[in-house]
Chain A
């Protein structure tokens, strides 16, 4: 019953029916209003719209079907059950056609009527819930669309403007695109943008990171398989090529794809058809390919990690995306974008960056590119106090002096000489200690004067 009693208007010209129903409905927790004519019924319905109407078809001042039509037109959410002694099938058909929930002929058993009313109200609730869910879905879609728009590449720097211009021309074609750039520069964001601006925008955008799957699994992921193709193939799987039909296939880290699979994939690009694993049937492929890699393509081709013929196929349009450190003009816009987004997600007021904090961000080398900037801003927004972000609220490696930043990220190299090793170790210790020489000396297990001496000798300035 959902809290409040459900309001039911009964329109019937028989006094005995009205008396019986009023008693029955009240006893069963409904709030009935009894009316004896079409006009009285409509007036009651208009005054306070009911959840349900029990309607007789043969009324003294009008046709019940006309009343039904009015209710359906003016209060479509109100359910109507036809109650009549006139139980010919033609009446039933007409009333159902006009939108009545059901038809019950007199005499009816009370439980029969109550059961029908329960079903009608349940359906009404389901319809209402569906409408709410549909509205929620619409809102979520709008929010998603807005979020996707926000994920559009930030185009402030000259280099990104050039990329944007190229993208405008390439996206509407079906040409393969190869996106190059370091990790975190926004290759996936550009792939999204290309798909959205393409003729295939209404189709799916299917993404597969070739580095994320073991070599023996990637073939099945890409080409799909039929049940029983191999141990564990318990059901047919369409594969990413199949899933992207009519849309775009984005293959990230393409140079990580096993070489023998590259040969097979090249054939798909040439012949536009393929065969899922274990299947004897050839399936046509209909996708636009966007590939990406963070490796040097020339090096990958030279080392044999990327087949040259596949590279030529992929390379119809090559879009190299510069690292963030080479387009610092974009940092301000990206900082604004991320600050607003995370503040909204966290339900906080968008914090302001102090000029020192902003300079710190601007001067950082951003080896992790936009992804790293995004993480740094999220970190800072969480820690922001009094709606302000100071350098203290930035991740520690960003607060380091420039000389130590590279050391903080540098992997232990295997080709350095002893002096280089010493310099690298001291820099890493300093980075780990946040530039504090006393702590760095402790980390290194040497006295502070020794550290000063070594720094001087190796030309380390912090």
Chain B
């Protein structure tokens, strides 16, 4: 494991909070504008039905927009404060199986591109599966979002030194900053639909269950590795 970095700093400067609020309101306004336009479009369709335009489908689109907004807000609010972990004993093999199943549902396009290997026996972990799935999901979603196509993504699960580990290796020609510093403080790099909370949130979730994450970039191999550790139960 690499050298320990200082613990997460939640003492965020006010200008970062300000940027986050501005970005959030901007995103919400965008979403609301889209919904307003869609509603106006539906209203036009109802007044003057055009041949071949499925009004019902347009209404479904509007409803999906609402659902997306509420999902985004739910995700956003969840990332600000993690709840009390509800830890259950989970055989590591089953945990991996269930996570891969979940991945197939949540990232149906990306999941088949991952080449999995594992070296697990009878190990068990004490985790809140929903929290850990959410933490793992952050790294796999990032991997999909920034995937450099044409090169394979690999994932390996195993157990050593008292930890259950998942290592994700994804092709990455270059990174803007040292990955070891990612997600150490919240609200960095605020941009559309992103508030610099994702990896910070994932780290908090893992820490709540005695786990941790290490990320490193190998410039020679042009590869980003993410290693997630969760303590094994005795």
A and B co-occur in one complex: yes
Distance A105 CA – B128 CA, assembled complex (angstroms): 18
Chain B residues with CB under 8 A of A27 = 86
Count of B interface residues, CB-CB < 8 Å: 26
Q: Do residues A90 and B63 form an inter-chain contact, with CB atoms below 8 A?
A: yes
Asked if A88 is at the interface (CB within 8 A of a chain B CB), the reply is yes
Asked if A23 is at the interface (CB within 8 A of a chain B CB), the reply is yes
Q: Do residues B66 and A89 form an inter-chain contact, with CB atoms below 8 A?
A: yes
Q: Which residue of B has the minimal Cβ distance to A13?
A: B101
Asked if B94 is at the interface (CB within 8 A of a chain A CB), the reply is yes
Q: Do residues B86 and A23 form an inter-chain contact, with CB atoms below 8 A?
A: yes
Contacts across chains A and B counted by CB atoms under 8 Å: 52
Asked if B102 is at the interface (CB within 8 A of a chain A CB), the reply is yes
Q: Do residues B63 and A88 form an inter-chain contact, with CB atoms below 8 A?
A: yes
Q: Do residues A16 and B130 form an inter-chain contact, with CB atoms below 8 A?
A: yes
Residues of B within 8 A of A (CB): 60, 63-64, 66-67, 71, 74, 78, 83-84, 86-88, 90, 94-95, 98-99, 101-102, 105, 128-130, 133-134
The digit string for A257-268, where 1 denotes a CB below 8 A from any CB of B, is 000000000000
From 221 to 267 in chain A, residues with beta carbon under 8 angstroms from any chain B beta carbon are none
Asked if A1 is at the interface (CB within 8 A of a chain B CB), the reply is no
The digit string for A333-359, where 1 denotes a CB below 8 A from any CB of B, is 000000000000000000000000000
The digit string for A97-137, where 1 denotes a CB below 8 A from any CB of B, is 00000000101011100000000000000000000000000
Q: Which residue of B has the minimal Cβ distance to A85?
A: B105
Chain A residues with CB under 8 A of B86 = 20, 23-24, 27, 110
Asked if A15 is at the interface (CB within 8 A of a chain B CB), the reply is yes
User: Contacts A85-B105, A90-B60, A107-B78; is A16 near B129 (CB within 8 Å)?
Assistant: yes
Chain B residues with CB under 8 A of A111 = 83
User: Contacts A23-B86, A109-B78; is A16 near B67 (CB within 8 Å)?
Assistant: no
Count of A interface residues, CB-CB < 8 Å: 20
Q: Do residues A105 and B71 form an inter-chain contact, with CB atoms below 8 A?
A: yes
The digit string for A78-100, where 1 denotes a CB below 8 A from any CB of B, is 00000001011110000000000
Q: Which residue of A has the minimal Cβ distance to B106?
A: A85
User: Contacts A15-B94, A16-B98; is A107 near B130 (CB within 8 Å)?
Assistant: yes
Please name 9 pairs of A and B residues whose Cβ atoms are closer than 8 Å in the assembled complex, sorted by A: A16-B95, A17-B129, A85-B105, A89-B66, A90-B60, A90-B63, A105-B71, A105-B74, A110-B83
Q: Do residues B67 and A19 form an inter-chain contact, with CB atoms below 8 A?
A: no
Most buried by A among B90, B101, B128, B130: B130
Distance A281 CA – B91 CA, assembled complex (angstroms): 82
Q: How far is the CB of B110 from chain A (nearest CB, A)?
A: 17
From 48 to 99 in chain A, residues with beta carbon under 8 angstroms from any chain B beta carbon are 85, 87-90
Q: How far is the CB of B170 from chain A (nearest CB, A)?
A: 24
Q: Do residues A14 and B102 form an inter-chain contact, with CB atoms below 8 A?
A: yes
Other A-B pairs, 16, CB within 8 Å; known A19-B88, A19-B129, A111-B83: A14-B98, A14-B101, A15-B94, A15-B98, A16-B99, A19-B90, A20-B86, A20-B128, A23-B88, A88-B64, A88-B67, A89-B67, A90-B63, A105-B74, A110-B83, A110-B86
Q: Do residues B98 and A110 form an inter-chain contact, with CB atoms below 8 A?
A: no
Q: Do residues A87 and B130 form an inter-chain contact, with CB atoms below 8 A?
A: no
User: Contacts A14-B98, A20-B130, A107-B130; is A89 near B63 (CB within 8 Å)?
Assistant: yes
Q: How far is the CB of B136 from chain A (nearest CB, A)?
A: 12
Distance A107 CA – B60 CA, assembled complex (angstroms): 22
Q: Which residue of B has the minimal Cβ distance to A91?
A: B67
